[in-house]
């Protein structure tokens, strides 16, 4: 707001100087106003870029999900990734993990993420061709071994 008042009064001064026949002073003032306008325009462009970057980061933050070990991007119900937890937490960088035989590897920081083994539910026990009288209820489930 203050700058627009300065510009308005500056342009009025330029007009008054031209009307008074002081063209050289009017040109100097007009050149000064032009330089100031260009600086404000450049600053405005930089701020627009920064605002766009902040908006992209906020949009991204809404789609990033952490599974307890790695990050994933979920867009339109589709899971993309995984991405390195260390690189994202430290630098905000989404570095896609590379899948190896039994683990994931980050090419950014060198971090390793073990792939959890998929556990299968044990088959129900059958006694010599007979159906069990009751349904078996599994009381304890083994935790997946992450580091085997």
Instruction: Please spell the DSSP secondary structure of 4-53, one letter per residue.
Output: HHHHHHHHHHHHHHHHTT-HHHHHHHHHHHHHHHHHHHHHHHHHHHHHHH
Name the percent of the chain in helix, strand, coil, to the closest 5: 45, 20, 35
| pLDDT-based confidence at residue 97 (cuts at 50, 70, 90) | very high
* 68 vs 117: which has the higher pLDDT: 68
pLDDT at 1 over 70: no
pLDDT at 148 over 50: no
pLDDT value of position 141 = 53
CA dihedral 85, 88, 94, 95 (to 10 degrees): -50
pLDDT at 139 over 60: no
| pLDDT-based confidence at residue 20 (cuts at 50, 70, 90) | very high
Tell me: the pLDDT tens digits for 99-119? Answer: 998 888 999 998 888 877 665
Q: Under a CB-based contact definition with an 8 Å cutoff, are residues 97 and 80 in contact? A: no
Q: Under a CB-based contact definition with an 8 Å cutoff, are residues 74 and 65 in contact? A: yes
């Amino acid at each position: 707001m203050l700058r627009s008042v300065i510009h308005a009064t500056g342009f009025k001064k330029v007009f008054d100087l031209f009307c008074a026949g002081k063209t050289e002073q009017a040109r100097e003032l007009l050149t000064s106003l032009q330089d100031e306008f260009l600086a404000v325009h450049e600053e405005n462009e930089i701020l627009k870029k920064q605002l766009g970057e902040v908006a992209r980061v906020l949009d991204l933050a809404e789609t990033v999900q952490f599974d307890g070990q790695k990050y994933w991007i979920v867009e339109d119900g589709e899971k993309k990734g995984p991405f390195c937890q260390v690189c994202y937490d430290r630098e905000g960088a989404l570095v896609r993990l590379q899948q190896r035989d039994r683990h994931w590897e980050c090419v950014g920081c060198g971090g390793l993420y073990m792939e959890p083994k998929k556990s299968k539910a044990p088959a129900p026990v059958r006694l010599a061709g007979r159906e069990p009288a009751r349904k078996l209820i599994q009381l304890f489930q083994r935790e997946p071994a992450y580091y085997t």
